[in-house]
Protein backbone atom coordinates (compact mmCIF):
# COMPACT_ATOMS: atom_id res chain seq x y z
CA UNK A 1 0.00 0.00 0.00
CA UNK A 2 1.36 3.45 -0.87
CA UNK A 3 2.17 6.04 1.77
CA UNK A 4 -0.55 8.30 0.32
CA UNK A 5 -3.12 5.52 0.78
CA UNK A 6 -1.92 5.07 4.36
CA UNK A 7 -2.47 8.79 4.96
CA UNK A 8 -5.93 8.55 3.41
CA UNK A 9 -6.95 5.76 5.75
CA UNK A 10 -5.52 7.49 8.81
CA UNK A 11 -7.09 10.89 8.01
CA UNK A 12 -10.51 9.28 7.57
CA UNK A 13 -10.07 7.40 10.85
CA UNK A 14 -9.01 10.57 12.72
CA UNK A 15 -12.00 12.49 11.35
CA UNK A 16 -14.34 9.70 12.47
CA UNK A 17 -12.65 9.65 15.88
CA UNK A 18 -13.27 13.42 16.10
CA UNK A 19 -16.99 12.83 15.51
CA UNK A 20 -17.35 13.37 11.77
CA UNK A 21 -19.90 10.87 10.47
CA UNK A 22 -18.88 8.94 7.32
CA UNK A 23 -16.15 11.22 5.96
CA UNK A 24 -14.94 10.50 2.43
CA UNK A 25 -12.45 12.15 0.07
CA UNK A 26 -14.99 14.67 -1.20
CA UNK A 27 -16.28 15.72 2.23
CA UNK A 28 -16.40 19.51 2.29
CA UNK A 29 -14.50 20.54 5.44
CA UNK A 30 -15.88 24.10 5.80
CA UNK A 31 -19.36 22.60 6.29
CA UNK A 32 -18.25 20.46 9.24
CA UNK A 33 -18.19 21.42 12.90
CA UNK A 34 -15.14 23.64 13.36
CA UNK A 35 -14.23 22.04 16.72
CA UNK A 36 -14.30 18.53 15.23
CA UNK A 37 -12.05 19.60 12.37
CA UNK A 38 -9.65 21.38 14.70
CA UNK A 39 -9.45 18.31 16.95
CA UNK A 40 -8.68 16.10 13.94
CA UNK A 41 -6.04 18.51 12.62
CA UNK A 42 -4.37 18.68 16.03
CA UNK A 43 -4.28 14.86 16.21
CA UNK A 44 -2.70 14.66 12.76
CA UNK A 45 -0.15 17.35 13.61
CA UNK A 46 0.84 15.53 16.80
CA UNK A 47 1.07 12.14 15.08
CA UNK A 48 3.16 13.32 12.13
CA UNK A 49 5.05 16.24 13.78
CA UNK A 50 3.93 18.73 11.14
CA UNK A 51 1.97 21.97 11.02
CA UNK A 52 -1.13 21.89 8.80
CA UNK A 53 -3.04 24.79 7.31
CA UNK A 54 -6.56 25.46 8.54
CA UNK A 55 -8.05 26.31 5.14
CA UNK A 56 -8.29 22.92 3.41
CA UNK A 57 -11.55 22.62 1.51
CA UNK A 58 -11.96 18.84 1.17
CA UNK A 59 -10.66 15.71 2.87
CA UNK A 60 -8.68 14.89 -0.29
CA UNK A 61 -6.98 18.30 -0.11
CA UNK A 62 -6.17 17.69 3.57
CA UNK A 63 -4.61 14.32 2.69
CA UNK A 64 -2.49 15.96 -0.02
CA UNK A 65 -1.46 18.66 2.45
CA UNK A 66 -0.44 16.05 5.02
CA UNK A 67 1.49 14.13 2.40
CA UNK A 68 3.30 17.29 1.29
CA UNK A 69 4.01 18.40 4.86
CA UNK A 70 5.68 15.09 5.65
CA UNK A 71 7.64 15.10 2.40
CA UNK A 72 5.91 11.98 1.07
CA UNK A 73 4.43 11.74 -2.40
**pLDDT of amino acid 3:** 77
Does residue 73 carry a pLDDT above 50?
Answer: no
Q: Which domain holds residue 25?
A: 3-69
Quick: pLDDT tens for 34-59: 999 999 999 999 999 999 999 999 99
Domain count of the fold of the chain:
1
Instruction: Say which CATH number the domain at 26 has.
Output: 1.10.1200
What distance in Å separates the CA atoms of residue 20 and residue 27, rounded to the nearest whole number? 10
Quick: pLDDT tens for 2-18: 777 899 999 999 999 99
Amino acid sequence: MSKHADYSQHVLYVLQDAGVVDPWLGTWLPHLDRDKCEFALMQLEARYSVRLRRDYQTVAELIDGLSNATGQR
